Amino acid sequence: MLLNQKSPSVYSVSRLNKEIRQLLERNFASITITGEISNFVSPSSGHWYFTVKDDHAQIRAAMWRGNNQAMRFKPKNGDQVQMQARISLYEPRGDYQLIVEQMEPAGEGALKLQFEALKMQLASEGLFSASHKKPLPNIINKVGIITSATGAAVKDILTVLQRRAPQLEIVIYPAQVQGNTAHQQLIEKISLANSRKEVDVIILGRGGGSLEDLWCFNNESLARAIFTSQIPIVSAVGHEIDFTISDYVADIRAATPSAAAELVSPNQAQLFSLITQQKQALFNAFKHYLAIQQRNAVAIKHRLSLCHPQSQLQQKSQRLDELSINLEQAIKQKLLGAQKSCSSLNNRLMLRSPNLKLQQSQHQLNKLKTKLETQLQQQLKQASNNLALQAARLNSVSPLTVLARGYSITKNEQGQIINSILQIKPDSKMTTTLIDGDFTAQILEINSK
């Protein structure tokens, strides 16, 4: 029997697809669904078409241009997403599909978006700027470690520090490094280390893990605590390929906790070499300083010798000898001249030779001779008197003469002459020089005028 095509119970394909679409849209007007993107295409119209699947099934989906323009990211094949959608039917093919209205990454994808957004924000505020990063101290004596007290990271750090620099003191600030409250504990430990001021550098970190495991190190409050820390912080979170906000804002980023320990610990061989170099430099500097002081001492000694009374006395004595020699030569020249004159007269007398004249001349000669001798004696006496006067003057300035009059010279233990009681201290020893010797005495009492 043939079916009546005009019967209300008979559907055309178009009618059936239309009513099914209306039924689906009415009963599934808004659902939340998660899945993996595949077969993603974005034609020139701006609409997105893709498949959403899980391990056992898949469904076609579409997201119109008006909705996807507000998206913060563009999905790609393999992305896990969470969508707000309604179920509809594409009537020409009879395929039911999702009409997606909102979409966001699911799981790690969402965390990555939060990470990038916070990274851009803090970078724009200058928290990652190299100008704000503090260098490691030249000499590190004490290292602070903020991490889990039972994790592998603290064991790796301690192993490296013990091997490279066993002399370093270590302070461990135990804190959670995973979980919803971990970032707050990390902030508290940074604040504690800064308030105590007991370490030279801080290692902040933990071992490797997933993005979710490391998420507490991507906290904004923790980033600001690291930025404001007065103590340099080395960030050592995860493995070499792992990057967190803490790595960007810290003063130094280490690829691993072990690498952080190497950064803050000088190699013993290098340290010994540095100490040896500094020791040699110190020795050379001291040797140079000692040579300068020795030259200065020689110069001062020479200047003192020029000012010493003995030196002046020697100069005066030399001058006296010089005057004596000059006087002696002058007398000799005078006598020689007189002798020549006498010989000349004698010769003239002999040439003329009358007896009377001879007697008169002889008499005159005797008178002249007597006068000459008298004058010579007077000159000699005057010269001797002058010589005695000069000797007396010279002797009057001699320290020995002063000592002979009953005076004395007193010196302290350093050989300095004492000319005031202000230079004397009780119980000190003084040496007193007299004309015939010296003696040493100890000061018992000081009386001022």
Q: For the segment 126-149, what is each residue's pLDDT rounded down to a tens digit?
A: 998 999 999 998 888 999 999 998
Q: How far is CA 126 from CA 133, 227, 233, in A?
A: 11, 10, 17
CA-CA distance, 235 to 198, in Å (whole number)? 19
Q: How are strands ordered across the β-sheet holding 169-174?
A: 169-174, 142-147, 201-206, 233-237, 252-253
Unique residue bearing structure tokens 């110190």: 282
Contact between 209 and 238 (Cβ < 8 Å) = yes
- The answer to which of 87-96, 131-140, 150-159, 348-357 has the lowest mean pLDDT is 348-357
User: Which of the four pLDDT bands, split at 50, 70 and 90, describes residue 8?
Assistant: low
As a whole number, the mean pLDDT across the chain is 84
Q: What is the SS3 assignment for 41?
A: strand
The per-residue pLDDT for 267 is: 64
Is residue 6's pLDDT more than 60?
A: no
pTM: 0.43
Q: Which residues contact 383 (CB under 8 A, 6 or more apart)?
A: 327, 330, 331
Q: How far is C-alpha 64 from the geometric centre of its chain's CA atoms?
A: 63
Output the CA torsion sign for 267, 271, 272, 277. Answer: positive
C-alpha to C-alpha distances, 216 to 5, 122, 158, 178, nearest whole angstrom: 68, 16, 23, 6
Angstrom distance (rounded) from CA 246 to CA 122? 11
The radius of gyration of the chain from alpha carbons, rounded to an integer in Å, stands at 58
Is residue 81 a contact partner of residue 34, using CB atoms and an 8 Å limit? yes
Whether residue 348 has pLDDT greater than 90: no
In this prediction, residue 426 has a pLDDT band, given cuts at 50, 70 and 90, of confident
Q: Which pair of structure tokens corresponds to residue 329? A: 């030569």
Q: In the chain, what is the straight-line distance between the N-terminal and C-terminal CA atoms, in Å?
A: 158
Residue 249 has pLDDT above 90, yes or no: yes
Q: Which helix (H) or strand (E) holds 389?
A: helix 355-396
Q: Are 231 and 203 in contact (CB under 8 A)?
A: no
Q: Residue with structure tokens 């302070």?
A: 171
CA distance 149 to 173: 8
Which of 158-167, 300-309, 373-382, 415-424 bottoms out in mean pLDDT, i.e. has the lowest? 300-309
Please state, in angstroms and rounded to a whole number, the distance separating the CA atoms of residues 209 and 213. 5
Q: pLDDT per residue over 365-424, tens digit each?
A: 888 888 888 888 888 888 888 888 887 787 777 777 777 777 788 888 888 888 888 888
Choice between 32 and 5, residue whose per-residue pLDDT is larger: 32
Query: Whole-angstrom Cα distance, residue 427 to residue 442?
Result: 6
pLDDT band at 117 (very low <50, low <70, confident <90, very high): confident
